[in-house]
A and B are shown apart, each in its own frame.
Chain A
């Protein structure tokens, strides 16, 4: 995805979110660290632009809720959670850059219910690359990108990486190239 495609996807998703909710009342956006956070802020800015309403935005670090913490070699660095509003009764839209196995989203939902009882949880992602390992689906998708497991989807955002781009890198492996 180019920078323009990212920008248009964000605008489209911001419209979809409001359309699905039939308004902005009770909506809140929570970005998943790391790149979900600037995406959530961009969505909030887009909604403010076309609806004139400032949605509350939070940041969620799911590190402590990962299901693989005891299996990985090193404790991951924690990036910080900041949810400065009450979740109870709100419709929370989780925002992340890539949806892959779904384990990050499961961890995010576990974390959210510790903060309160949202009325509903929705999911908006910039890229859905398939290969779900849990029954999780996104409500709003920027782009569907079919990939093989050997590939690496890299999302770059201006706020974290200096530019907007989504690229697919092939990771070297013994598995032969899939036939497209």
Chain B
């Protein structure tokens, strides 16, 4: 299971944006987006400063304009080889990365571990070495073990982009969620907005990465769910407050949803029942499911979000998922834009295309 990866965010020396720049969470002042991109990998959002997050947002704007063209393709990554290596099943993220890389004219290889030599017992490091020997310059990875992309980064000469590792991080999801909120909220700013993450935060890399980006943006963040699925977050919130990153943890769904600007529902997995963390999905749906009735507690114009895939009728009611306030399909579209932006920015740290690696 977990390699004991701690949320590194709070031990970082860099202060959270709220204690520093007054413009955090709002539209960037002109010139803020000129920050150079120095990250060869993107393994977690907690290494990104607020100006760097802003740069990703602005670059995503440009990518969304490309997506709106008759031919939604630019040659920015021509000659670059991108390998997508997913050890866990996925539809939206895996395809989203493939579409993003192809829209930038990169050459894409998509490997699903279930049909590769991983089934014969090939180790992660050997797989990385093989992929590199086959010419990959950028590697997009998803793995069930927290920390696996960090190990890959140690053995890969190019760029590694984390598509989700265990319960630890899902940086591209947090960035596309942030982009979607800023796109749809009036004023484009999250500062002071009440954002609720409702559901199984304990097993959620989406929740962990969103906590970083949303507290960086100055949002008033609330985590809500059954106490069995919120273990450890109370302590994290306490340490976070010392670093200027405040969020609330509660089991009171009414208090959490009241006057919320954004409600993000997380998927409940059947496995959680088997391990005794939930009595039944029916009870979860009754106590914490996002229904129209519960949504009425939030602001009338509140956004409804979900990283997908959804269990309609469990964490989110079917009529809420199709409500006009739901921006779930926007999240998918913005996901392609954000991933194009990240591939573009990371590619800038690679040696020139055509250079021979040792």
Say how far B357's CB is from chain A's closest CB, in angstroms.
Answer: 14
When distances are taken between beta carbons in the complex, the residues of chain A under 8 Å from B79 are 70
Assess the A80–B36 pair: CB atoms within 8 A: no
Category for how many chain B residues contact A: 20 to 34
Taking A64-B66, A70-B350, A70-B352 as contacts, is the C-beta distance between A77 and B55 under 8 angstroms? yes
- Chain B 290-337 residues near chain A, CB threshold 8 A: none
Assess the A115–B69 pair: CB atoms within 8 A: yes
B59's nearest neighbour on chain A, judged by CB, is A78
B341's nearest neighbour on chain A, judged by CB, is A78
**Stretch touching chain A among B70-78, B109-117, B174-182:** B70-78
Partner of B33, one of A61, A77, A116: A77
When distances are taken between beta carbons in the complex, the residues of chain B under 8 Å from A80 are 61-62, 65
B351's nearest neighbour on chain A, judged by CB, is A70
Is B344 close to A, CB under 8 A? yes
Taking A74-B37, A78-B58 as contacts, is the C-beta distance between A114 and B73 under 8 angstroms? yes
Residues of A within 8 A of B (CB-CB), count: 22
Assess the B344–A75 pair: CB atoms within 8 A: yes
Taking A74-B348, A81-B62 as contacts, is the C-beta distance between A64 and B74 under 8 angstroms? yes
Assess the B65–A82 pair: CB atoms within 8 A: yes
Q: How far is the CA of A164 from the CA of B80 in the complex (A)?
A: 41
Is A71 close to B, CB under 8 A? yes
Assess the A65–B69 pair: CB atoms within 8 A: no
Q: How far is the CA of A111 from the CA of B74 in the complex (A)?
A: 8
- Chain B 67-91 residues near chain A, CB threshold 8 A: 69-71, 73-76, 79-80
Assess the A114–B69 pair: CB atoms within 8 A: yes
Is B345 close to A, CB under 8 A? yes
Say how far B323's CB is from chain A's closest CB, in angstroms.
Answer: 32
When distances are taken between beta carbons in the complex, the residues of chain B under 8 Å from A136 are none
Taking A74-B37, A77-B34 as contacts, is the C-beta distance between A61 and B62 under 8 angstroms? yes
- Chain A 65-91 residues near chain B, CB threshold 8 A: 65, 69-75, 77-82
When distances are taken between beta carbons in the complex, the residues of chain B under 8 Å from A64 are 66, 74-76, 104, 344
Assess the A75–B37 pair: CB atoms within 8 A: yes
When distances are taken between beta carbons in the complex, the residues of chain A under 8 Å from B74 are 64-65, 111, 114
Give the tally of cross-chain contacts (CB within 8 A).
59
When distances are taken between beta carbons in the complex, the residues of chain A under 8 Å from B347 are 70, 75
When distances are taken between beta carbons in the complex, the residues of chain B under 8 Å from A49 are none
Say how far A72's CB is from chain B's closest CB, in angstroms.
Answer: 8
When distances are taken between beta carbons in the complex, the residues of chain B under 8 Å from A74 are 36-37, 348
Assess the A69–B76 pair: CB atoms within 8 A: yes
Assess the A70–B58 pair: CB atoms within 8 A: no
A61's nearest neighbour on chain B, judged by CB, is B62
- Chain A 101-153 residues near chain B, CB threshold 8 A: 110-111, 114-116
Q: How far is the CA of A101 from the CA of B296 in the complex (A)?
A: 61
When distances are taken between beta carbons in the complex, the residues of chain B under 8 Å from A73 are 348
Partner of A71, one of B55, B61, B73, B352: B352
Is B95 close to A, CB under 8 A? no
Is B254 close to A, CB under 8 A? no
When distances are taken between beta carbons in the complex, the residues of chain B under 8 Å from A82 are 65
Q: How far is the CA of A70 from the CA of B70 in the complex (A)?
A: 26
Is B286 close to A, CB under 8 A? no
Is B277 close to A, CB under 8 A? no
A71's nearest neighbour on chain B, judged by CB, is B352
Q: How far is the CA of A70 from the CA of B352 in the complex (A)?
A: 5
Is B255 close to A, CB under 8 A? no
Taking A110-B75, A114-B70, A115-B70 as contacts, is the C-beta distance between A81 and B80 under 8 angstroms? no
Assess the B344–A114 pair: CB atoms within 8 A: no
Further contacts, 20 of them, CB under 8 A, given A79-B62, A115-B70: A61-B62, A64-B66, A64-B344, A69-B76, A70-B347, A71-B352, A72-B348, A74-B36, A75-B37, A75-B345, A75-B348, A77-B55, A78-B59, A80-B61, A80-B62, A81-B66, A114-B70, A114-B71, A114-B74, A115-B71
Give the B-binding residues of A (Cβ under 8 A): 61, 63-65, 69-75, 77-82, 110-111, 114-116
Can you list 22 residue pairs at the A/B interface with Cβ under 8 Å?
A63-B62, A63-B76, A64-B74, A64-B75, A65-B74, A65-B76, A70-B79, A70-B347, A70-B352, A70-B353, A77-B33, A77-B34, A77-B59, A78-B58, A78-B59, A78-B62, A79-B62, A80-B61, A111-B74, A114-B69, A115-B70, A116-B70
